[in-house]
Amino acid sequence: MTTAKQGEELTRVGPGTVIGELMRCYWIPALMSSELVRDGEPRRIMLLGEKLIAFRDSDGRVGVMDHRCPHRCASLFLGRNEEGGLRCIYHGWKFDVAGNCLDMPSVPPPDFKQKVKARAYRVVERAGVVWVHMGTQAEVPPLPAFEILDVPDDEIRVSFIQRDCNYLQALEGEIDTSHFGFLHAGHVNVENVSEDEPLRHTIIDRAPKYHVTDTPWGTQYAGYRPAGASRTYWRFGNFLFPFWTQAPNGEFASHMHARGWVPLDDTHTMFVFFWWKHAVSAMSLPQPAFTDGMPIGGTGRGNEFLPNTSDWLGRWRLAANAGNDWRIDRVAQQNGSIYSGIDGIHLQDQAITESMGPIVDHELEHLAPSDQMITRTRRRLLIAAQALRDRGVVPPGADNPCVYREARSGYFVSSEGNDWRGVYASQLAEAIHPPLPAMRAAE
C-alpha cells in the first residue's frame, strides 16, 4: 500500500518537493513550436507549479522564464516582444531569451543591467516541440534518447491534451493494463470480432497474468495470455523516468512512441504524445469493428478541443470534461453499446483518472496483485527521488539518456516460450529502428 506520506511525496511537484526536484533533473516538453511566433505574443505556461512565460524572439530563438519581471515583479506576459527581446511594459526593462537584461531605460546612467537577470531556463526545440530544462546544474544532459526522437521530424506526429488531475494518477492509467477489457471493451463479445482484430486477445481473457520488473529506464510489465497451440499473446508496456509511458496499443515491431504526463502543477497534467506516423498502432489502424463491419462502440477517434486561451491552464483542453460529465451517454451504457457510456479510448481514460479527484487519496485504495506494475513504479520513483534528496544520487536516465533507447512497448504473438526477458530481447532485435544517431548534444 501507499501511505499518506508517500502519496504526498509522490504527487507534489513544486520547487523543493521530493518529486519536484527529481523532475527538475530532466528535459520537459512544454509546448508546440508552432505556439510561438517570432516577435509574437508571449504565452503563459505552467510547469512543475511555476508560472512561466514563453516567447520567440526576432531571430527565432525561444525563451522560457519566470513570468515576473526582476525589477518589481510585473508580469512579462504583458510585455512587448520586439527587436531581440521581451520588454516589460512597466518601466521598459528588456530581457533576452537567456534572461540577460539588455536595456534599463528608466534608470539614469550608469545603470546596472549587467547585474540583473531574469530567471530563464534552458530550451531546445526538437520534433516540433519546445523542451525546457528547469534544473540548476551547470551542464544539462542531452534529450532522452527515445527512438521516436531519432525519426525524421516529418514522420513524427505530436499531440498535447491537458488533463485535470495529478500527473501520477494520469500516468498510472497507462500502466494499468487490466482495465482494458472493462473500461474500453467490456461490451465486446469475442464471438463478434474477427480473428485478426487486435483487441480480440484482450477480451478472450480479461484477467491476464503479468511479469513486472525494474529496468534501467524505469519499470516494465508484460501481460500474457494463451493464443492457441503453444503460442502466447504478449503486451509489453513501460514506465520511463520521470513521467513517460509506452503503451501496448500498437504492433511491437513498429510502435516507436513516447507518452509524457507532464506535471503543470499538482492538479493539472499535460499529455504530450509523440508517435511514428508509419507505425501499425491505434493511431493508424482503422477504428475497431465487429465482424459485421459495424464500428465497436466507444472506440471513436478524434478529440474535440476547447479554444486555447491565454490562461496558465488554458491550452489543449477537451470539450468533454468534468463540467459535463465527460458527455457520458447513459443509454449507451445501459443498452450495452458502450460499456462506459463515454466515446473515445483517450476520453475514457481521461474521465476515469479525473473522476478520482485532483489528487488521489492513496489511503483509500485497495491495491490488488493486478496492480503490481503500479506499486513497483511508485516504489521506483520514490526510491530514486529520496536517493537524490538524501545522497545526491542522479536519478535514472537524467544524465545517461541512452537508457531509453532499449525501451519499446507493443503487442505480438509468439511461440518463443515463457522466458519473457528473452522474448522481449528477440522481438526488439527484429523490430524496426531509426538509424542510431551519434549521441546528440543538447543543441
- Binding-site ranges for ligand FES (CB under 6 A): 69, 71-72, 74, 88, 90-91, 93
Count residues near Fe ion (CB under 5 A). Answer: 1
CB of 107 to ligand FES, least distance (A): 10
Q: Which stretch binds Fe ion (CB under 5 A): 292-300, 342-350, 401-409, 418-426?
A: 342-350
Judged by CB under 5 A, the residue of 9, 147, 150, 349 near Fe ion is 349
CB of 353 to Fe ion, least distance (A): 9
The three-state secondary structure class of 179 is helix
Q: What residue has cell string 508552432? A: 34
CB of 89 to ligand FES, least distance (A): 8
Residue placing its CB nearer to ligand FES in the complex, 105 or 228: 105
Q: Which stretch binds Fe ion (CB under 5 A): 96-104, 221-229, 345-353, 383-391?
A: 345-353
CB of 72 to ligand FES, least distance (A): 4
**Positive or negative: CA dihedral 425, 430, 436, 440:** negative
- Around 134, how many Cα atoms within 13 Å sit in the side-chain half-sphere? 25
Nearest to 326 by CA among 346, 296, 311: 346
236-240 contacts, C-beta under 8 A, 24 or more apart: 236/408, 236/409, 236/410, 236/411, 236/424, 237/174, 237/175, 237/177, 237/373, 237/409, 238/175, 238/407, 238/408, 238/409, 239/171, 239/175, 239/373, 239/377, 239/380, 240/144, 240/397, 240/404, 240/407
CB of 99 to ligand FES, least distance (A): 13
Separation CA 108–CA 351 (nearest Å) = 57
265 makes contact with Fe ion (CB under 5 A): no
Helices (H), 324-371: 330-335, 345-355
Residue placing its CB nearer to ligand FES in the complex, 67 or 184: 67
Residue placing its CB nearer to Fe ion in the complex, 164 or 349: 349
354 makes contact with Fe ion (CB under 5 A): no
CB of 16 to ligand FES, least distance (A): 26
CB of 179 to Fe ion, least distance (A): 6
172 makes contact with Fe ion (CB under 5 A): no
343 makes contact with Fe ion (CB under 5 A): no
Separation CA 304–CA 7 (nearest Å) = 33
273 interface partner picked from Fe ion, ligand FES, none, CB below 5 to 8 A per type:
none
The three cell numbers of residue 310 are 491565454
At position 249, the amino acid (one-letter code) is N
Residue placing its CB nearer to ligand FES in the complex, 90 or 290: 90
Q: Using CB under 5 A as the criterion, which residues of the chain lie in contact with Fe ion when the complex forms?
A: 349
